[in-house]
Amino acid sequence: MSKAIAGFSKLAKDEKIEWIAKEYFANPEEAAALVRKYWNNDAELQKLHDEFIENTITNFYLPLGVAPNFVINGKEYILPMAVEESSVVAAAAKAAKFWAARGGFKATILGTEKIGQVHFMYTGDTTKLQAFFEAIKPKLISGTHELTRNMEKRGGGITDIELRDKTNILENYYQLHATFETVDSMGANFINSCLERFAKILKEEAAAYSGFTSDEEDIEVIMSILSNYVPGCVVRAEVNCPVEELTVEKDIDPEVFAKKFVTAIKIAEAEPFRAVTHNKGIMNGIDAVVVATGNDFRAVEAGVHAYASKSGSYSSLSHATIENGIFRFWIDVPLALGTVGGLTSLHPLVKFSLEMLGKPSAKELMQIVGVAGLAQNFAAVRSLTTTGIQQGHMKMHLMNILNQLKATDDEKLEAAKHFETNTVTHAAVADYIETLRKVNPTLIEKDFLQ
């Protein structure tokens, strides 16, 4: 039987919850109680969260952790990281501490250009279209002045508009390809507003243009939208030190480690199957800071992975070399971020995170986020080429396993001691807890005695 409902969005929050609980859960009272349990006790704060999106029924929490000891361009930071995956924060902090003792991270902005496009179809003579574009280009700029005025006061605005012939990939397909500087805002709304104005002017001017003499020369606008692929909005983060200073483990020769590390990076550069997981590890660090600072991690992810494929094959975002005894490790990553607008002025913990970072500009935030990705990558490749990734990861994952097994506080203490010297797997932890409960039943929770 269909569970479709008309007018759901018009229901009060409690009514939405009651309907969902009744229609989809075996125990409606328990389901509704769980949802309400995650409401914020501060009614005003809860109302703010309810209004972020549509059909809100509750809050879905992520841990907000911090990674200290980052030194970026000589300045000390503690990075906010909103992430659910075990070991991400610990790995970032470990890498930060390691490189702080070796001069810290260097970050450089390579560009801040954002892109938007008006996609349209045109069946006439391309030379006529080019002449038309050259004639109306000043009107495209002047016609958006009311939209760009405030951005221009801050040093931003439209930087260029091009006509691009894309008929080689799709018949009759052309673009207005526009570039923008949005200063400290991510700029999505600003760019999209400008593009829609371009489209309006394009259609109006085409209808009145004397150079178009037939119906075949009509322009049909398909859509106007920014691009999340921003190859001109890129930050470089890097570290370097003499090879002999790469003392990552007491029993591993620094030169051996450096060569193995560089080879691991070259594998990720050459092998797409490895590159995807390699870059996912980079995004562990990037996404965590992006989320904590109220930016759009989905846009960042899409743009980053497109950038990783710019050569025609998916490849590593990071690179490493050894030259004249110096180990160098760096990443170039496209990041369209903002520190004003959106959630940055609304979400209390976003404001908290930005203040903890020293209220950075968008450029400074790009540098911080790029460094977070490089730090995460260094920690992951360091583990992979030395002790293996599972040793550290599963140690951090131990608490999640214990919580799944409903371990008591005393059992958790015993397990932590035991697995200091034993390999952590889900089966090993389950077996240990079962054995512990047989040997010492006083550790068992009341629920397990019933």
Confidence band, pLDDT 50/70/90 cuts, at residue 448 = very low
Contact between 115 and 224 (Cβ < 8 Å): no
Active site residue 85: yes
Q: What is the DSSP secondary-structure string of 191-258? A: HHHHHHHHHHHHHHHHHH-TT--SGGG-EEEEEEEEES--TTSEEEEEEEEEGGG---STTS-HHHHH
Query: Which residue range is the domain that position 43 belongs to?
Result: 8-50
| Domain assignment of residue 57, yes or no | no
Q: Provide the pLDDT for residue 51.
A: 93
Q: Provide the pLDDT for residue 404.
A: 83
Structure tokens, 83: 């992430």
CATH number for 129: 3.30.70.420
Task: Tell me: do 242 and 372 sit in the same domain.
Answer: yes
Task: Tell me: do 97 and 239 sit in the same domain.
Answer: yes
The overall average pLDDT reported for the chain is 92
User: What radius of gyration, in Å, describes the C-alpha atoms of the chain?
Assistant: 27
Q: Provide the pLDDT for residue 7.
A: 93
Active site residue 296: yes
pLDDT for 392 beyond 70: no
Of 177, 199, 227, the last residue of a domain is 227
pLDDT for 123 beyond 70: yes
Task: Tell me: do 42 and 75 sit in the same domain.
Answer: no
| Domain assignment of residue 58, yes or no | no
Averaged pLDDT, 361-388: 95
Contact between 83 and 288 (Cβ < 8 Å): yes
Averaged pLDDT, 278-283: 98
| Domain assignment of residue 55, yes or no | no
Among 196, 238, 296, 414, the active-site one is: 296
Contact between 119 and 194 (Cβ < 8 Å): no
Among 280, 363, 412, 426, the active-site one is: 280
> What pLDDT, in 10s, does the model give residues 210-258?
999 877 678 999 999 999 999 999 999 999 999 999 999 888 999 999 9
CATH number for 295: 3.90.770.10
Task: Tell me: do 214 and 101 sit in the same domain.
Answer: no
Count of structural domains, the chain: 4
Task: Tell me: do 219 and 199 sit in the same domain.
Answer: yes
Q: Provide the pLDDT for residue 425.
A: 78
Q: Provide the pLDDT for residue 449.
A: 41
Active site residue 205: no
- Please state, in angstroms and rounded to a whole number, the distance separating the CA atoms of residues 431 and 358: 47
**Beta-carbon contacts of residue 68 (< 8 Å; ≥ 6 apart):** 78, 79, 93, 96, 97
User: Which is higher by pLDDT, 200 or 395?
Assistant: 200
Q: Provide the pLDDT for residue 86.
A: 85
Structure tokens, 379: 């920690």
Among 18, 50, 85, 152, the active-site one is: 85
Confidence band, pLDDT 50/70/90 cuts, at residue 1 = low
Averaged pLDDT, 88-117: 97
Q: Provide the pLDDT for residue 311.
A: 96
Task: Tell me: do 37 and 169 sit in the same domain.
Answer: no
> What pLDDT, in 10s, does the model give residues 287-335?
999 999 999 999 999 999 999 999 999 999 999 999 999 999 999 999 9
Task: Tell me: do 357 and 253 sit in the same domain.
Answer: yes
Of 387, 410, 425, the last residue of a domain is 387
Q: How many CB atoms lie within 10 A of CB 83?
A: 20
Structure tokens, 260: 């193995």
| Domain assignment of residue 223, yes or no | yes
Task: Tell me: do 244 and 345 sit in the same domain.
Answer: yes
> What pLDDT, in 10s, does the model give residues 152-180?
999 999 999 999 999 999 999 999 999 99
Active site residue 393: yes
Amino acid residing at 88: V
Task: Tell me: do 381 and 246 sit in the same domain.
Answer: yes
Among 94, 119, 278, 393, the active-site one is: 393
Q: Provide the pLDDT for residue 441.
A: 65
Task: Tell me: do 83 and 143 sit in the same domain.
Answer: no
